[in-house]
Amino acid sequence: MPCELCPRRCRADRASGAVGFCRAGALPRVFRWGPHFGEEPPLVGPHGSGCVFFSRCTMKCLYCQNSPWSWNGEGEDIPVARLTEILRELAVKDRCSNWNLVSPTPYLPFIREAAAPLLAEGVKLPFVWNSSGYESVEMLEAYADLCDTALFDLRYSRDETARAASAAPNYVAAARAAIRWAYGRTRRTDQPPLIVRILVLPGHAEEAIESLAWLATELSPQIPVSLMSQFTPAYRALETPPFNRKVTPEEYESVTEAATDFGFENGWIQSYEAADPALALLGENMPGGHGTVS
Ligand code: SF4
């Protein structure tokens, strides 16, 4: 069947061996999995968030820190039955708080198929759909059962930046529609239904502020937001200014101040030095904070 799982709608016939923009194939491809403790506090719990890092990605961010598996496809093609066992391991052996699906979009049908026998047995964790936010509402609706928490980036407010830095046409409309969709849902678990991550990019702090303005005015400043300072020049960013440097303290502070000015009070501010686990709360309604996130 032609693949239309992400907004690119390549229509690649993956089952027949064709690949589209993301180069995902006819089987789930997984780079690694395991408990992860760097996610936002409501997702971690005592035993960690059960991350499954899928290989390939529907975006091509020139600064991607996961380029070995997102761009270059490192990982292993596995049968769906093996993915079932990975999900079982995270739930039963590791006792994780959730199944945290990192960049799941090219593999949604496989994930549903893999989880089905576990759900039938009563082995069930909340699903976290952890992505760039570059999603289609049609597919979010179709696979809503895999989304108890939408952990979506809102990376850009200007399409020209999204095209240049992530080769993602129409990113702003797609990500905003995805976030609007998640915002409109009723809470399904103890976890928040939506957390919006805003990674501050060097030279583009004003886009993070524009994204916060959109969230506050079009949706609500009550949305949990996660402000991230962790940008580190990597991969093709090393030769592409302004992405070849870290965010300055002044840039980051302009975003954290804007978040306060817009009235955001649920969420977290990553410390400026991401390697430093020191935490700060954006407001007083949410516990804890986070270090480097996936
Ligand atoms: S998931 Fe991959 S193959 Fe499918 S439409 Fe998106 S980029 Fe194309």
Residue 287 is predicted with a pLDDT of 39
Q: Are 50 and 94 in contact (CB under 8 A)?
A: yes
Instruction: List, edge to edge, every strand of the sheet that includes 99-102.
Output: 76-77, 29-36, 49-54, 99-102, 127-131, 149-153, 194-199, 225-228, 267-270, 279-281
Count helices and strands (H / E) in the chain: 8, 10
Residue 158 is predicted with a pLDDT of 98
CATH number at residue 138: 3.20.20.70
Q: Is 74 in the pocket of ligand 1 (CB under 6 A)?
A: no
The structure tokens listed for 115 are 């989880």
Which residue's CA is the nearest one to ligand 1's atom 4?
3
pLDDT, tens digit, 9 for 90 and up, residues 12-36: 999 999 999 999 999 999 999 999 9
Confidence of residue 288 (pLDDT cuts 50, 70, 90): very low
The residue ranges of DSSP E strands in the chain, in sequence order, are 29-36, 49-54, 76-77, 99-102, 127-131, 149-153, 194-199, 225-228, 267-270, 279-281
Q: Is 29 in the pocket of ligand 1 (CB under 6 A)?
A: no
Confidence of residue 282 (pLDDT cuts 50, 70, 90): low
In a domain? residue 11: no
Which of the residue ranges 59-68, 137-146, 232-241, 245-254 would you say has the lowest mean pLDDT?
A: 232-241
Strand-pair category, 225-228 with 29-36: unpaired
> CA Rg, the chain, in Å?
18
In a domain? residue 218: yes
Look at the chain and report how many structural domains it folds into: 1
In a domain? residue 16: no
Distance CA 290, CA 38 (A): 6
Residue 238 has pLDDT above 50, yes or no: yes
Which residue's CA is the nearest one to ligand 1's atom 1?
106
Q: Is 174 in the pocket of ligand 1 (CB under 6 A)?
A: no
In a domain? residue 290: no
Q: Is 20 in the pocket of ligand 1 (CB under 6 A)?
A: yes
pLDDT, tens digit, 9 for 90 and up, residues 185-232: 988 888 999 999 999 999 999 999 999 999 999 999 999 999 999 998
With a pLDDT cut of 70, the percent of the chain lying above it is 93
In a domain? residue 13: no
Compute, in angstroms, the gap from residue 4 CA to the centroid of ligand 1.
Answer: 6
pLDDT, tens digit, 9 for 90 and up, residues 135-157: 999 999 999 999 999 999 999 99
In a domain? residue 14: no
Which residue's CA is the nearest one to ligand 1's atom 2?
22
Distance CA 152, CA 150 (A): 6
In a domain? residue 292: no
pLDDT, tens digit, 9 for 90 and up, residues 89-102: 999 999 999 999 99
Q: Is 96 in the pocket of ligand 1 (CB under 6 A)?
A: no
Q: Is 103 in the pocket of ligand 1 (CB under 6 A)?
A: no
Residue 151 has, within 13 A of its CA and on its CB side, a CA count of 28
With a pLDDT cut of 90, the percent of the chain lying above it is 84
Q: Is 132 in the pocket of ligand 1 (CB under 6 A)?
A: no
Q: Which atom of ligand 1 is nearest to the CA of 6?
A: 6
Domain hosting residue 85, numbered range? 26-281
In a domain? residue 43: yes
Average pLDDT taken over every residue of the chain: 92
Compute, in angstroms, the gap from residue 166 CA to the centroid of ligand 1.
Answer: 15
The residue ranking higher by pLDDT, 1 or 3, is: 3
- Token look-up 């870290």 returns 246
Residue 271 is predicted with a pLDDT of 86
Please tell me whether residue 237 adopts helix, strand or coil conformation: helix
Distance CA 208, CA 264 (A): 14
Q: Is 21 in the pocket of ligand 1 (CB under 6 A)?
A: yes
Compute, in angstroms, the gap from residue 96 CA to the centroid of ligand 1.
Answer: 29
Residue 74 is predicted with a pLDDT of 95
Which residue's CA is the nearest one to ligand 1's atom 3?
20
Mutational test site, ligand 1, from 1, 4, 10, max ligand atoms within 8 Å of CB: 10
Confidence of residue 281 (pLDDT cuts 50, 70, 90): low
Distance CA 276, CA 294 (A): 16
Q: Is 104 in the pocket of ligand 1 (CB under 6 A)?
A: no
Confidence of residue 285 (pLDDT cuts 50, 70, 90): very low
Distance CA 154, CA 180 (A): 11
